[in-house]
Amino acid sequence: MDGTTQFDDGFPSATLFSQGYSYTYDDVIFLPGYIDFPTDAVDLSTKLSRNISLSLPCVASPMDTVTESSMSAAMAALGGIGIIHSNNTPSQQASIVRSAKSHKIPFTADLIFLSPGDSIHSVDEFGSSPCVFVTESGTQGSKLLGVVSRSAWESLGNKEARVSDYMTKSPVSLPSSYNFEDVAGYLEAEKLEYVPLVNEEDGEVVNLVTSANVQTIKGFPKLGLPSLRPDGKFLVGAAIGTRESDKERLEQLVKAGINAVVIDSSQGYSLYQTDMIKFVKRTYPELDVIGGNVVTSYQARSLIQAGVDGLRVGMGSGSICTTQEVCAVGRGQATAVYKVSSVAHEEGVPVIADGGIKNSGHFVKALSLGASTVMMGSFLAGSSEAPGTYEYNKDGLRVKRYRGMGSLDAMTKGSDARYLGDTAKLKIAQGVAGTVKDKGSVLKFIPYTMQALKQGFQDIGVSSIQSAHQHLRSGKLRLEVRTGAAQTEGGVQEGGAHGLVSYEKGKYF
C-alpha cells in the first residue's frame, strides 16, 4: 500500500456525524487500517489541558465513591490523574488533596490515630491495619508519639491500660518523599512488617507501607511514567461548583497544591459557569481550569471564549446517570465527543470524554473520535482504591457502594448544586445508587486496559493519540454504523456469546 489508495469502504467522520443521528460508542465501528508498527510502538502520551501532560489518557472522575486520596495516588503513579470530588467540606477536600500529593507510592493506607490517654478494647479497632498511631491530639495532624502494633496489643494482659503505657516510642519511620523501591528495599533489609511514612516538613504520618503491600504491588504490571510536577509531587486535580462559596473552596484547594480545577456541573452552558471560569483565570492565572459538561459545539465555544484550558464532554452517558431519561436532554456520547472535539481542536483545547466507558474498545472510540483523555467512574468503582469498604451481597459477591452524583443519596450530601438544584424545594434525582463487584486494584487492570487500547490503535493503523486525531480529521479513519444484529455479532449480549450455552469472559491474564 503506497498511501494513495482511494477508500471506498465506510465513511469519514464528517459524513457519518452530519446525518442527524445521536450515536453512542456501541453504534459505531472503525474499519481496519494499515499496520506498519508493533503494538509496543504505540504512544499514549497526551494532554489533560492546555498546560498539563500525561503519559496515559486516564482520568478518575470527581465522584465520592470513586476518587479520594488512594485513587488519586494510584492514577498519578500510573501516569494519569485523579480529580478529587467536592461532596464534602472545603477543608476535607483540601486535606484529601494534601494527602494525595504527599505520596510517592501508588496507594494510600487507612490510618488509625489515638491519643495517649485512649485504650484499645477490641481488635476491631485496628481495622485492616497492623498498627495504630498515637499522637498528641489523637488526630493525624499532630505530633507522633508512638505506635501500637496489633501483635503487641494481642499479647497485652491488661486491655484497659492506656496506650501510652505500652506503645513503642520513637518508632522507626521513613520520609514520605521515598519512592516505592526505596521503601520496599528498606522493609526487606530491616526485615520489618511495616513502616510509617512521615512528612519531612512537620513530621505528620501520611502513609503506612506493609511488607504485604510490597509483595502485592510487585505482582502488578510494571508502572509507566508517573504524573509528577517539577517539585516531584503527584499531579492532583479537584472539582468545585459555581456558587459564591466555591471561591473560598478554591482558595483552600490552591493552597493545598492542586494542579487543575474542574468546574463540576451536569450542564456547563450557563452564566454561572462562565462567570466562575473567568474568576479562576483572573485570580489564579497559572491554574488550568476545565469546564463542562458539554455535548454541543455552541456549548463548547461559549466555555472556550470564557477561557477554559480543557473541556469535559458527556451528558447522561454514565452508567448511573439518568439525565437523558429524566430531563430528555443530552446526546449520544460518540456524537458528543466528535462534535465538541472538532470545535475544541481549532482552539487547542483538549477534550475529556466523560461517561459511557465499559470496555477497552470504548477507550479506542473515545480517543479516536477526538478526545485527548477518558474520564472513568463506573470503570474504577469497586476497585481497591475507590472510597468505601467492601461488603458481601445476598449472592455472596464482594461489592462496594457506587452512586451517581445526581442520585438522591449523593444529593443529601450536597451534590445537588452540580445540578443547579441546591435551592430547589423539591429534589429531582438524575442518577441512581447501587453496588459494583470487587475489581481488584487499578494498578493491575488499568495497565491491561492500556495494552488493549494499544492493540486497538494498531488495528486502525495509528501509533498515537495525536495520529488518531490526524486520521480522523483527514478522513483517513473510516467508520460505519452497526445494526443491532451487528452489535450482537460483534460482542456479548444477553443470552450468550455467539450461541454458547456458557462462556467465560476474561479481561486479561
Cis peptide before 293 (omega within 30 of 0): yes
Q: Which residues pair with 294 in a beta bridge?
A: 313
Radius of gyration of the chain (CA): 24
Return d(Cα 342, Cα 345) in angstroms, integer.
5
Is 63 annotated for ligand binding?
no
Return d(Cα 307, Cα 288) in angstroms, integer.
10
Return d(Cα 71, Cα 84) in angstroms, integer.
9
Between vectors from CA 441 to CA 266 and to CA 113, what angle results, nearest 5°? 90
Is 25 annotated for ligand binding?
no
Do 330 and 323 touch, CB atoms closer than 8 A? yes
Output the DSSP codes for 46-72: EEEETTEEESS-EEE---TTT-SHHHH
Return d(Cα 4, Cα 286) in angstroms, integer.
45
131 belongs to the catalytic site? no
SS3 helix, strand, coil % of the chain, rounded to 5?
35, 20, 45
Is 331 annotated for ligand binding?
no
Is 257 annotated for ligand binding?
no
Do 318 and 378 touch, CB atoms closer than 8 A? yes
Is 404 annotated for ligand binding?
yes
Is 321 annotated for ligand binding?
yes
Is 441 annotated for ligand binding?
no
How would you write 238-303 as a 3-class SS string?
EEECCCCHHHHHHHHHHHHCCCEEEECCCCCCCHHHHHHHHHHHHHCCCCEEEEEEECCHHHHHHH
Q: Which of 321, 331, 401, 478 is catalytic?
A: 321
Is 406 annotated for ligand binding?
yes
Do 30 and 477 touch, CB atoms closer than 8 A? yes
Is 405 annotated for ligand binding?
yes
Is 318 annotated for ligand binding?
yes
Return d(Cα 156, Cα 38) in angstroms, integer.
60
Is 402 annotated for ligand binding?
yes
Strand 373-376 relative to strand 391-392, pairing = unpaired
Do 311 and 351 touch, CB atoms closer than 8 A? yes
Q: E-assigned strands of 320-365?
A: 351-354
Is 355 annotated for ligand binding?
yes
Return d(Cα 377, Cα 188) in angstroms, integer.
36
Return d(Cα 172, Cα 219) in angstroms, integer.
26
Return d(Cα 334, Cα 252) in angstroms, integer.
36
Residue partners of 417: CB distance under 8 A and separation at least 6? 241, 242, 243
Q: Which of 98, 249, 312, 418 is catalytic?
A: 418
Backbone angles phi, psi at 221, to 5 degrees: -60, 155
Query: Residues with catalytic annotation?
Result: 321, 418
Q: Which residues are annotated as a binding site for IMP?
A: 319, 354-356, 377-378, 402-406, 430
Q: Which residues are annotated as a binding site?
A: 264-266, 314-316, 318-319, 321, 354-356, 377-378, 402-406, 430
Q: Which residues are annotated as a binding site for K(+)?
A: 316, 318, 321
